[in-house]
Structure 1
Amino acid sequence: MSDDTLRSIELTKIGDARFKATNARGGETFMGTGGVDPDFTPVELLLAAIAGCSAMDVDLITTKRAVSTKFEVAAEGHKVRDDDGNHMTGLRITFDVAFPDGPEGDAAREFLPRAIEQSRDRLCTVSRTVQLGADVAYGQA
């Protein structure tokens, strides 16, 4: 694979059960175990990544027709432990999007379901990876 396909982050421990993720552009986000700190848990970051990826797709597609007056996305799922170990089930992404009155808003409203389908079925790298499954190799430096 070429370098232009590579995506990566560095994760650094910054406290008890707290970590900082840094991307190649210097952006940072924080995660923890979901105790008393406000940091996102890894599962919450997964949900945010799925919702954010699809939200960006849908927004880019629908904005060609009209700019939304409301754009909210909810992501949820159940963390379970069973014979397959810990994993998420019942993942659900729900869009609550509104557009202005008029022909442009009508066009965006009409296209919204198709934009969501395109993100789900083809465009969103995060949800597509979850849906298709991908091997994760573990190792030591």
Structure 2
Amino acid sequence: MSDDSFRSVKIERTSVGRYVARNVRGGSMSMGTGEDDSFTPVELLLAAIGGCTAVDVDHITSRRAEPTQFSVEITGDKIRDEVGGNRMQNLTVEFTVTFPAGADGDRAREALPRSLRQSHDRLCTVSRTVELGTPVTIVDPAGPTAD
């Protein structure tokens, strides 16, 4: 992979069950176990899915008209079973978007369904990664162990 395709986030522990995620641009976000107002990792996954799709849809539709309302709700069920352990299922991304009356608003409304399909089928890196089931490698800080 080329350097421009590489992405990373660093997570540092601040106290028991509390962490800060930092990106290379200097942004930070706290997360935790759900015992306070910090986002949990599952909530961040939902936000990443919805945020990725929102960016795609917004870029496409707002070229035609500025929305008067634009919100996204992402829901799912956290389950535990013998097949996959802890995981999410029934992931749903629901948009509430309105545009002003007039020709520009009409063009934006017309572009909305297509932009949703494009994001889902091709553009949104996050939901595409989840749907395709990309493997995750965990690196043990102690290194490989011999059997």
- Give TM-score scaled by structure 2 length: 0.93
Secondary structure at 1:137's aligned position in 2? coil
Shift of 1:108: 0.6
1:5-28 Cα offsets, whole Å, 9 max, x none, are: 000011100011000000001100
Secondary structure at 1:52's aligned position in 2? helix
1:139 is aligned to 139
* Match runs of 1:60-79 below 5 Å: 60-79=59-78
Secondary structure at 2:49's aligned position in 1? helix
Secondary structure at 2:128's aligned position in 1? helix
Query: Which residues of structure 2 form unaligned runs of 5+?
Result: 142-147
1:117 is aligned to 117
Query: Percent same amino acid at aligned positions?
Result: 55
Distance in 1, matches of 2:111 and 2:26, equals: 36
Secondary structure at 1:96's aligned position in 2? strand
Shift of 1:140: 2.7
1:54 is aligned to 53
Aligned-pair RMSD on alpha carbons?
0.7
- Give TM-score scaled by structure 1 length: 0.97
Distance in 1, matches of 2:111 and 2:73, equals: 20
1:20 is aligned to 20
Distance in 2, matches of 1:29 and 1:59, equals: 23
Shift of 1:2: 1.1
The one-letter code of the counterpart of 2:58 is D
Query: Which residues of structure 1 form unaligned runs of 5+?
Result: none
Secondary structure at 1:80's aligned position in 2? strand
Secondary structure at 1:31's aligned position in 2? strand
**Deviation beyond 2 Å, 4+ runs, structure 1:** none
